[in-house]
Each structure stands twice: as structure tokens, then as C-alpha cells.
Amino acid sequence: MKKSGIFIVTVFLMACSYSVYTTGFPHLKTIAILPFENNTTEYNLEEVIFNNLTNYFESDGRLKIVSISPDCQLEGQILDYSNKILTYAGSDVDEYEVRVLFSITFTDLKKNNIIWQDKALIISETYSSSDETSEFSTEEEAQNEIIKDMFDIIIKESLEEW
């Protein structure tokens, strides 16, 4: 009984030190997030993206955000933005789709090479102010989810090694 108790404690302690965060680039410790260039008429979208991405990187904790001498850099452009009617319920609009086209580059500044780039990344979300079962009820909520999805894609495609 004593041996099994020690084994359980040992396994528990080992499990606590396990992390799902991996990186294929252990030399990258800091990042500079450049403000996205907004090529759309959607006012202030670049600022919303910059603020949300900064918050996501800070929460994630793998890379520290710096402005001087970063190890890597994230830059992007907002190439297109649309908020279109997706479905009708009778004569009323039932659901909208927000779609954003990005060009994103994640660069390793230590080794001077591009780790990941997508010049035509399209992310979309739907929302409905009339359907209570809809996950999002405003355009702003849909935008925020698009930015979160973009962050997840950036991390998956640039830092994670599976």
C-alpha cells in the first residue's frame, strides 16, 4: 500500500510539471507585434486587432512582448472586411457573417527567416441579434472571435511543433 501511495504521488507531481505548450523554436523568447495595416474602410479595426493580439500573447505567456530587440516579429495587413446578410427569417435579417481577409507574416529575427506566412488568410464568424441560440449576437463579438481564431492559427502554425 505504501509503495502504491508513493507511486501515485510521483505520477501526480510529474503530471503537474507537464505543459501542453511546445515550441519548435526554443530560442524565441520575445516578440514585437506591429500594428496591422488596415486596407479597409472598417474604422479602427487595426487597433482592435493590435490590442486583442497583445492581450492574447500576454495571456499565453510563451513570448514576452517587447518593442526593442525582439527575437521574432508579427506583422499583418487587413486586406478585406465584409459584414453581410447570411439568412433571413421572413422579412427580417436573421443572421450575418463577418469575414476578414488577412495577410500575416511571423518572422524569426534571430535567424532572419520567415517561420510562417499566409497572404490570404480568411476567417469568418456568424452572429444574430434575433436568434438567442446564436453564439454571438453582435458584430463586435464576431470580430473578437475572429481575432482569437487568428491568434490560435498564428500560434499553431508558427510556434507549436506536433
pLDDT of residue 2: 53
Q: Where do the structural domains in the chain lie, given as residue ranges?
A: 24-158
User: What's the pLDDT band for 161 if we cut at 50, 70, 90?
Assistant: low
Fold (topology level) of 24-158: Rossmann fold (3.40.50)
Alpha helix segments (H runs only) across 29-106:
45-60
pLDDT tens track for 46-89: 999 999 999 999 999 999 999 999 999 999 999 999 999 988 87
pLDDT tens track for 133-148: 889 999 999 999 999 9
In this prediction the pTM is 0.82
